[in-house]
């Protein structure tokens, strides 16, 4: 019986082969991205590169590194990621703690929860937010990218669920020893929740790194664009040029290699945190909220 379970059948081979094929097709665009970025302009402008580089060249990357605006935009993004992650994590943890108590223990819980749920269900929409932030003088300020969305309700729910699943005896022991709420949170809850926080921190970093729309909306000065907004504008301008002119050949760097070099460089931070992230995702921590 047991050997019967372990033996691989035709189904297993077909299944595995299909999955591997899906995975390969799935990463093909990224292979293409790297191949084009590392190929000569001659090859890429004629669309001769598929999933491996031809006439290997790093000219495109050289050109990107000479672009000061790319560096400025990267710096804005780094600042944004740092500020955004710190602010979001501190405020989210502070918010999650009180609502992790049951309504019997903390009578005002229902009020706060309703207050947050309403914002999940209904919003004023894009234009009122835009007008408000302009009136508040937040145009061209980095704070507009990190403060308005500083407390994502989703993250509050994840941390709240994590806090709730901590054994209540630990909390009671702390209370008997005379710990107040701040001490309880700082000395007992926080150290026990570090794995959960780590996951959310990586999510925060990725979210802030990837955000581009608010930069486009609120930054009038191009030098203040975060990287993804800069990239969006860059890609749009490159594809505009492409549609206007005939494909120029025999160049050292084609627009395509250049665009792909920009894109590839912007993905590096994601690739750095991805291994940590995929480990956490597999352990199922992120799904805390989904399981309710």
Residue 155 interacting with other proteins (CB under 8 A): no
Helix%, strand%, coil% for the chain, nearest 5? 75, 0, 25
Contact 37, 60 (CB under 8 A): yes
Residue 215's φ and ψ, nearest 5 degrees, are -65, -40
> Which C-beta is closer to other proteins: that of 111 or that of 167?
111
Site string for other proteins, 48-87 (x = CB under 8 A): --xx------------------------------------
Residue 274 in the binding site for other proteins (CB under 8 A)? yes
User: Which of 33, 224 has the CB closer to other proteins?
Assistant: 33
Provide the minimum distance between the beta carbon of 58 and other proteins in the complex, in angstroms, as a whole number: 19
**Contacts for 86 with CB less than 8 Å, ≥ 6 apart:** none
When asked if residue 179 is in the footprint of other proteins (CB under 8 A), the reply is no
Q: Is 287 among the residues that bind other proteins (CB under 8 A)? A: yes
Which of 78, 83, 89, 129 lies at the binding interface for other proteins (CB under 8 A)?
Answer: 129
Closest among 207, 258, 183, 259 to 89, alpha carbons compared: 207
Q: Is 210 in the site for other proteins (CB under 8 A)?
A: yes
Please say whether the beta carbons of 202 and 89 come within 8 A: no
Among 81, 145, 147, 219, binds other proteins (CB under 8 A): 147
| Span near other proteins by CB under 8 A; candidates 64-72, 77-85, 186-194, 228-236 | 228-236
152 near other proteins (CB under 8 A):
no
Considering only the stretches 5-13, 53-61, 71-79, 188-196, report the one whose residues sit in contact with other proteins under the rule CB under 8 A: 5-13
Helices of type H across 148-193: 153-164, 168-176, 181-183, 190-192
Hey, which residues does 39 pair with through a beta bridge?
Answer: 56
Q: Tokens 């405020």 identify what position?
A: 91
124 near other proteins, rule: CB under 8 A: yes
27 makes contact with other proteins (CB under 8 A): yes
Is residue 246 a contact residue for other proteins (CB under 8 A)?
A: no
Give buried/exposed letters for 179-192 (b at 16+ CB in 10 A, else e): beeeebbeebbeee
Q: Min. distance of Cβ 239 from other proteins in angstroms? A: 7
């Amino acid at each position: 019986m047991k050997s019967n379970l372990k033996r691989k059948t035709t189904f297993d081979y077909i299944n595995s082969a299909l999955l591997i094929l899906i995975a390969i097709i799935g990463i093909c665009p990224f292979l293409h991205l790297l191949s084009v970025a590392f190929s000569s302009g001659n090859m890429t402008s004629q669309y001769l590169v598929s999933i491996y580089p031809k006439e290997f060249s790093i000219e495109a990357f050289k050109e990107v590194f000479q672009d000061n605006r790319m560096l400025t935009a990267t710096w804005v993004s780094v600042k944004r990621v740092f500020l955004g992650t710190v602010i979001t994590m501190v405020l989210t943890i502070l918010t999650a703690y009180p609502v992790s108590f049951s309504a019997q223990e903390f009578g005002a819980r229902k009020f706060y929860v309703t207050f947050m749920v309403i914002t999940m269900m209904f919003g004023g929409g894009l234009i009122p937010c835009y007008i408000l932030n302009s009136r508040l003088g937040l145009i061209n300020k980095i704070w507009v990218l990190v403060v308005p969305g500083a407390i994502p309700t989703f993250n509050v729910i994840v941390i709240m669920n994590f806090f709730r699943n901590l054994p209540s005896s630990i909390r009671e022991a702390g209370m008997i020893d005379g710990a107040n709420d701040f001490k309880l949170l700082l000395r007992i809850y926080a150290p026990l929740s570090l794995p959960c926080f780590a996951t959310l921190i990586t999510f925060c970093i990725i979210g802030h790194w990837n955000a581009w729309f608010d930069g486009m909306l609120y930054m009038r000065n191009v030098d203040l664009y975060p990287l993804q907004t800069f990239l969006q504008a860059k890609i749009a301008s490159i594809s505009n040029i492409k549609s206007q002119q005939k494909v120029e050949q025999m160049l050292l760097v084609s627009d395509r290699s250049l665009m792909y070099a920009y894109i590839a460089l912007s993905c590096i931070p994601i690739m750095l945190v991805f291994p940590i992230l995929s480990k956490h995702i597999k352990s199922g921590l992120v799904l805390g909220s989904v399981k309710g």
